[in-house]
Structure 1
Amino acid sequence: METAVVVTKSSPVVVVPSESEQTTTPPAGHTIPLSSFDLLMPPLPMRLVLAFDRPIHEPVETIKRALSRALDHYQPVAGRLNGQGGITCTGEGVAFVAASAGCALGEAMATLQQMDLTARFPGAFCRDADPLVLVQVTEFSCGGFVVGVTWNHLLADGAGIGQFLCAVGELARGASPPSVEPVRQWDDALRDLPTTSVIAQRSTVLDKNRPRYLVRHDVAVPLSLVCRIKGESGCTAFEAVAAVIWRCRARAVGCSADSPAPLYFACNMRALVGASAGYYGNCVVGQVVPATSGAVARSSIADLALLIRRAKENVLDLLSSSSSDGEAAAPDGGGAQGGAQAAPPQWYDGLAMTSWVNLGLDSADFGGGGAARVMWHEDRTFLPCCMVCSPCRGDAFNVSSLCVKPEHANAFLRELANLISHDGLA
């Protein structure tokens, strides 16, 4: 077993807006009310790692300066939650940590998940007084570096944080202002989620007590396999990857055939609700594909991918208070509604899938080009879940997985290996 490289960290410092940029952002003291999409999200820490194998000049100082300038344009990011359903532009800033690792990045690439590459909030949930963003820049002996970002999910979703990091990168490369004008205020003319949907989805996490420790896997789903699935079903890459993980997990866990095995996945609603091009707050909802373990285990990958696609096509129903909250046909054709199965799902029954593909995360460029690797940097989770990341300079989609208990880990890896090596799509 490979040993993780020791990372040496400096004490955190606070980075505040530089006040050197000409902007039209909200003034100090202005409050941005949280939207119904923001309120879907409990104040959960999200942790992202971007690995850059092409050196830049003084990455710590370069990114720190650019971050300060970016906060001029993104004043709410430097603010704090006010405890009354909003973010106040206090200008208190974000936390920044400089770090170093005593090896080359290439030597550590396989063990990045085991390394201390992100700053952490004190608890399982973020507090109102905490900064909304924590940034850590770790330099490696080869000149490569890693940018670790931890943020309060109430501030932004993956697309929003990707936009912010791309702006930091543009400023680091000498451009000003950022090419995308940021928008954080939710337009009253845009469609809101029904209150019942907000309460139901938010309680999904809040009711799960403390995070569980599941086995960490970094799975590579080959592009060749994804292309074959897409060719057979006409699905997207995410739908193909999600179908692969869903079936492999169902077979590995081996629950009784009639046990619930729902798939939960996040849908970006920006194009569907008319959000501004530069909107960087939350704009995703969770959709569910209800199913039984037996139905998932015996279905073809193509059929599961099509099932996910049909659920995605019905996501607009979630904007209606009279909707059936994510109804989708089950693999056995039952059309069972989420929560209407014979037994209510327990925390380990379901699988949550999120995609960080096409969100701009791999496009953040601080001077040496885009990221060589994008990773979800978690070791605990409330529900079994996976994050699909872009195939940066590679021939596979990278899936950061926390979805099985130790006793199911070997079986899960065997199912994946068999599917990949034997083209077991049926």
Structure 2
Amino acid sequence: MASVNGSNDLHVRVVSRRLVKASDDDDSIKPHVLAVSNLDLIPQTIQTSMFCIYPRPPTGDFNAVVAAFEAGLPSFLNHFFPLAGRIATNPSSGLPEFHCHNQGAELVVGEAGVPLASLDFGTMTASVRRVQQPYCEDMALSVQLVSFACGGFAVAWCTNHVLVDGSALSMLVSAWSELARSGTLCASSRPNHDRSVFRPRATPSYSASFNEAFMPLHAERQVNVLTAEQSFVERLYYIEASDVARLREAASRDGSERATRFQAVSAYLWKALAGVVGTADAHCRMQWWVDGRRRLTDEPELRAAMRNYIGNVTTFAIREASVDEVQRMALPDVAAMVGEAIAAPSYGQHFQELVDWVEERRADRYVETASLGLGSPTVGVTAFTSFPLDTDFGFGHAAMAMPTTSPTARLCSGFVQIAARPDGDGSWISSAFLWPRLAAALESDEPCVFKPVTAEYLGLRAP
């Protein structure tokens, strides 16, 4: 079987595609149907993946990589049994559910006839998305291994957003690395798939603000396809550790609590956005996706369930401010505004109200109102930098590990996704969709913070 993905000289030939089932040595695993939580219904069924690029390993070769997955995936799926199942639609409710009958995860092996260094790493589309292979909409997990002429390889962990959020996707990769290296998962790494922890109250109750924060994702309420596609440019940047540290220092004040690295970079982006908007609009907005696992600490039962919860526990915080105000404010003041916006909600109450709000709207699909492009210009930021991510499953750390998502709506807001470089050098990699003027402003700033990713930066060399 062969397929061509992309153009120019990159041709990925699929050598094999087969199903791998959980092993039969765990009698505690029974076939079952797993219902989604109301929080899973917010992203709905959108394909998402973690794409890892590895240089030529110091020991072993691609055959050894394939052998490791063939040997270890069955045991791995014992722990992540829903990923050996299928995403289905409940005939009565029309809602997604997981049929955990050990139908098998997909293992795809392919080969590319070019070295990794020949890829254009300036965007995800020109690099990662040309390597990743299509997989069925109902597939809970497709693991894709692709070899390159330089001896390097790629591993794509392809799944669906209705199953996992960013934190859970990172747990998935880390658990595989631990299991592949040691042959077992320690108790603290074993996943929790129990979605019953997020239950609506008998009488749903929520703030009216949820009706403003979300909008039904109907075609007639989205911008047209040309506006959505032509308004933005795609970029893949890196931020050196020294620049992250410099921004953090600039965003902190003596005698006050230091700004976090995320707050500092967000403040820098907010000021750049305000500079680009200028007099064209009186306001601009920033939006941040927030992982609830570390913030749901009020109830001991929920706190324990969140430690290794596999599912969606994500919400967002948003703040609108005067363009003139953001431009005039010192960086520490903007960073403080970022921190206040993210810390403001009472997250225990917020998530319960969100669960209740979705309960009355389970049949429809919603999206963050600001993401549609209505109102003042908005840039959303999501960071994987706080999620532990171990990519070393016995062949060294990945040079890059970036989440990717297949867009299913015509959104018209800026979006910046940040992940830490896997080797732990402190630098960050960012996938971004930006207005051309904002991208130009970031790239021309001195000293430059957002630099284009290159094969040289990733340590990839042609053979």
**What is the rounded CA distance, in whole Å, between the counterparts of 1:95 and 1:145 in structure 2?**
18
Partner of 1:364: 391
The yes-or-no answer on 1:100 pairing with 2:111 is yes
2:365 is matched with: none
Q: Which amino acid aligns with 1:8?
A: V
Matching residue's letter, 2:107 = F
Equivalent position SS for 1:346:
coil
Which segment drifts farther, 211-220 or 137-146? 211-220
Residues 236-269 of structure 1 show CA distances to partners (whole Å, capped at 9, x for unaligned) of 112222222232233235462414x221111111
1:217 aligns with 2:235: yes
2:178 equivalent in structure 1: 170
- Please list every run of 5 or more consecutive structure 2 residues that lacks an aligned counterpart in the other structure: 1-6, 253-257, 297-302, 358-367, 452-463
> Aligned equivalents of 1:348 and 1:149: distance in 2?
36
39, 51, 54: which one pairs with 1:52?
54
CA contact (8 A) 2:290 2:316 kept: yes
What is residue 379 of structure 2 aligned with on the other side? Answer: 351
**Structure 1 residue 314: deviation in Å?**
1.4
Which piece of structure 1 moves more, 270-279 or 112-121?
A: 112-121
**Range moving further from structure 2, 363-372 or 380-389:** 380-389
More displaced, 191-200 or 87-96? 191-200
Answer yes or no: is 1:139 the counterpart of 2:139.
no
Deviation at 1:353, TM superposition (A): 0.7
1:156 maps to 164
Please state if 1:7 is matched with 2:11. Answer: yes
Post-superposition offset of 1:352:
1.1
- TM-score (norm. length: structure 1): 0.78
Q: What are the residue-to-residue correspondences of 1:20-39 with 2, within 5 Å?
A: 20-22=24-26, 24-25=28-29, 27-28=30-31, 30-39=32-41
Asked if 1:66 is matched to 2:72, the reply is yes
Deviation, structure 1 residue 174: 5.0
Letter paired with 1:286: F
2:244 paired residue among 203, 226, 246: 226
Q: Shift of residue 10 of structure 1?
A: 0.8
Worse overlay, 377-386 or 393-402: 377-386
Residue 245 and residue 215 in structure 1: after superposition, are their counterparts in 2 closer, same or farther (change >3 A)? same
Once the two structures are superposed, what CA deviation does each residue of 1:214-249 show, in whole Å capped at 9, x if it has no partner?
311122223223223333421211222222223223
Runs of at least 5 residues in structure 1 that lack an aligned partner in the other structure = 326-337, 422-426
Name the structure 1 match of 2:320: 290
CA distance in 2, matches of 1:160, 1:189: 16
CA RMSD, aligned part only? 3.6
Give me the TM-score of the superposition, normalised by structure 2.
0.73
- Cα shift at 1:50: 1.1
CA displacement at 1:281 relative to structure 2:
1.0
Q: Does the residue aligned with 1:358 lie in a helix, a strand or coil?
A: coil
1:298 to 1:88, Cα distance in 2 relative to 1, 3 A: farther
Aligned to 1:241: 265
State the secondary structure of the residue aligned to 2:321.
Answer: coil
**1:270 equivalent among 293, 301, 310:** 293
| 1:402 maps to 2:433 | yes
Amino acid at match of 1:15: L
Relative distance call for 1:392 and 1:80 in structure 2 (3 A) is closer
Q: 1:290 deviation in Å?
A: 1.9
Greater RCO structure (CA 8 Å; 6+ sep)? 2
Alpha carbons of 1:299 and 1:191: their partners in 2 closer, same or farther (altered >3 Å)? farther
Do the aligned partners of residues 31 and 142 (structure 1) sit closer, same or farther apart at CA in structure 2, a change above 3 Å counting? Answer: same
- Give me the identity figure in percent: 20
Measure the CA separation in 1 of the matches of 2:191 and 2:27: 10
- Kept after mapping to 2: 8 A contact 1:48/1:376: yes
Question: Is 1:87 the counterpart of 2:86 in the alignment?
Answer: no
1:319 to 2:323 alignment: no
Q: Secondary structure at the match of 1:281?
A: coil
Counterpart residue number, 2:191: 182
Is residue 19–residue 69 contact of structure 1 (8 Å, CA) maintained in 2? yes
Q: Over residues 127-167 of structure 1, what are the superposed CA-to-partner deviations in whole Å (9 max), with x where a residue is unaligned?
A: 5xx21233321112232211123321110111111111222
The change in CA–CA distance for 1:199 and 1:186 in structure 2 (over 3 A counts) is: farther
1:187, 1:300 → 2: CA distance?
45
Distance 2:278 2:21 in 1: 52
In 2 relative to 1, CA 176–37 (structure 1 residues): closer, same or farther, beyond 3 Å? same
Note if contact 1:119-1:150 (Cα within 8 Å) is conserved in structure 2.
no
CA offset digits 1:320-360 (Å, max 9, x no partner): 649xx9xxxxxxxxxxxx98x9xx95288211111111323
In 2: Cα distance, 1:166 partner to 1:82 partner: 27
What is the aligned length? Answer: 391
Q: For 1:88 and 1:347, how far apart are their aligned partners in 2?
A: 41
